[in-house]
Amino acid sequence: MASAWGELKRRNVVEISGIVSSLFVATLLLAPVVCADNNVAFPVPRLEQLLGFESWTVSDVRGARFEDDLARRGTLTAPSGEQLEIKVRPATRRDEFNNVPRYELAAYRLQPLFLDPEDYVVPPTVFRGFPLEVVRAWGETELEPTYTESEEVFFVVQYWLQSVTNPLDPLDIVRFEQDPTYARHIANLNILTYLIEHKDANQGNVLLSTDPENPRAFSVDNGVSFSSDESEQGSMWKEIRVPAVPSETVERLRTLDLDALRANLFVVSEHRLEDGRFVPVAASEPLNIGRGVRQDDGVLQLGLTEREIRGISRRVGRLIRDVDRGELETF
C-alpha cells in the first residue's frame, strides 16, 4: 500500500479553488483570494500560511473557556502587523483521549475534498512547534518539549472565529425548514461530523454564526473522533441528524474514492529535524499506514491510519446509499 502512495498523491491530491490540499507546499501563496466574511476575517490561504509558517508573537494568553483550560487563547501579531485571535492546545507525544492532534488536522484536511473554503466548517488548523523559551514567554511555565529530539513544544493552532455563539443544540429543525442558507451550512457541518465520526457533543464544540445573512456552522473541537472512545458528553453528531443534505455536496462525495482519501489523509502534517528543530515540509510517503504518529530518521509524520481512512470511505458510501434509496432527502 505505502509503495503506491506517491502515485496516489500525484493523481489524487485535490485542489479546491486553487488551494492545494497539502498544507506544506510552496504554491500556497499563489492560490486565489477567497473573500473573508464576518466569521473569518482573512482569506483561508493567508491564514494557513500565517499560522503554519510565518514568525509571529502571541500576547494576552489565557484559558480558552476558563482559567485553567488546557486550550489557551491569545492574540497573534504577525511581522506585517496583522492581528488575529488564535486557540493553541499543547500536543502530547502520543495519542491521548481528547488530545489527538492528527484528528484535528485530518478533520480540517478532509473538508476541502467536498467543500469550498467559504463553506469550511473547521477553521484553519495547523500543527506547529515553538522553542521552549518562546512558550515560556507566553507564561506557560509547566510545559516541556513534546519530542525529545528538539527543545520545542508542539501545539495545534487554530484560528479563533469571530461573531459566533455556542447554543446547547445548534440544530434548529424549524429554522432548517425556513432558512435555506442555514440549512445548507448546518447540513454540511453534519456531513463532516458524520464522516469523522465526531463523538463529543460538549457545548461549545459546534458554533453558529450570528450573521443573519450568512449563518455558518462550525466544528471547532474534533479531537474525539475517528478511532476515539466516546466522551461522556454524548455523540449525537456522529450520526446524520439533519432531515436533508445539499445535493451539490452529495455529488462531490460521489467522486471521493478510497485512493483520494489515502492521498490526502495518510499524512496530514510532516516535519523534518533540521538543526535541532522540526521544520514543516511537504508530505512524503507514509512511514507506517498502521500508525497515526510516526517518527523515523528525523522525520515526524501525523496522519490517519488505513483503518481510519477505510472508515471514512464506508461512511461516504453509506451516506450516498441512503440518498439513492430515498432514505435521506436532498435539496
Span 200-253, pLDDT tens digits: 999 999 999 999 999 999 999 999 999 999 999 999 999 999 999 999 999 999
Q: Could you tell me how far CA 23 lies from the centroid of its own chain?
A: 11
> Mean pLDDT throughout 66-73?
90
Q: Other CB atoms closer than 10 Å to residue 156's CB: what's the count?
A: 26
Q: Are 283 and 270 in contact (CB under 8 A)?
A: yes
Q: Is pLDDT above 80 for 34?
A: no
Residue 37: partners with Cβ closer than 8 Å, 6 or more residues away: 118, 211, 214, 216
Q: Could you tell me how far CA 59 lies from the centroid of its own chain?
A: 24
Going 44 to 11 to 111 to 230, the CA torsion angle's sign is: negative
**Residue 226 Rama label (left phi>0; alpha psi -120 to 50; beta):** left
Produce one character per residue of 223-241: b if its CB has 16 or more CB atoms within 10 Å, e if not.
bbbbebeebeeebebbebb
Of the candidates 257, 268, 102, 122, the one whose C-alpha atom is nearest the C-alpha of residue 188 is: 122
Mapped onto helix, strand or coil, the DSSP state of residue 50 is helix
Average pLDDT of the chain to the nearest whole number: 90
Phi, psi of 127 (to 5 degrees): -115, 120
Domain-wise residue ranges, the chain: 2-330
Span 268-291, pLDDT tens digits: 999 999 999 999 999 999 999 999
pLDDT band at 6 (very low <50, low <70, confident <90, very high): low
Q: Is pLDDT above 60 for 32?
A: no
Span 75-109, pLDDT tens digits: 999 999 999 999 999 999 989 998 999 999 999 99
Cell representation of residue 72? 489557551
pLDDT band at 1 (very low <50, low <70, confident <90, very high): low
Beta strands in the chain (DSSP E): 15-16, 19-20, 57-63, 72-77, 83-90, 125-131, 152-159, 164-165, 206-209, 217-219, 244-245, 269-274, 277-280, 293-296, 299-302, 329-330
Residue 21 exposed, middle or buried by CB count within 10 Å (0-12, 13-18, 19+): buried
Q: Other CB atoms closer than 10 Å to residue 132's CB: what's the count?
A: 17
Give the pLDDT confidence score for residue 67 in this predicted structure: 87
Q: Is pLDDT above 80 for 33?
A: no
Inter-axis angle of helices 306-324 and 180-196, to 10 degrees?
140
